[in-house]
Amino acid sequence: MKNFLIAGVDDGIGIPPANPSYKGSIVNPTLGDLGKETGVSFFQKLIPALINILLIGGALVFFFVLVTGAIQWISSGGDKQAIENARSKITNALIGIVILFSVFAIVKLVEYFFGISILTLDIGNLIIR
């Protein structure tokens, strides 16, 4: 039985391979080409990819909370308590996204001005950038 989920394998029914360089491997576009890495090089690529995923996840949570707060505000029907709850939710979402990007910007500024790399983890042979 043929596995149609494997990228790069021609299944014989006229569907070209997704990417010829990935013969027989499943490709995750978010994490990149981690399937060919082992040991230290795997973790050197995994940790920054996870940090990026967490930043994207934080932005998605912000958007979801902002939209739900806006929907609550619209559907409040003039109820002062419902409007206050919606306003609180929107305010918390905005504060959260500001904190998320501020932390990232502060880390980058500290790295630039002091010439150190806070996001680089150096443990023996394992150096994660």
CA distance 82 to 76: 5
Amino acid residing at 29: P
Return the pLDDT at 91.
95
Mean pLDDT of 98-108: 88
Residues 58 and 107 in one domain: yes
Q: What residues make up the domain containing 124?
A: 39-128
Average pLDDT over residues 12-36: 57
- Tell me the average pLDDT across 25-31: 61
Q: Which two tokens stand for residue 61?
A: 């949570």
pTM of full prediction above 0.85: no
State whether 24 and 54 are in the same domain: no
Q: Domain check: are 24 and 47 in the same one?
A: no
Q: What CA–CA distance (Å, rounded) separates 95 from 104?
A: 14
Structure tokens at 27: 């490709």
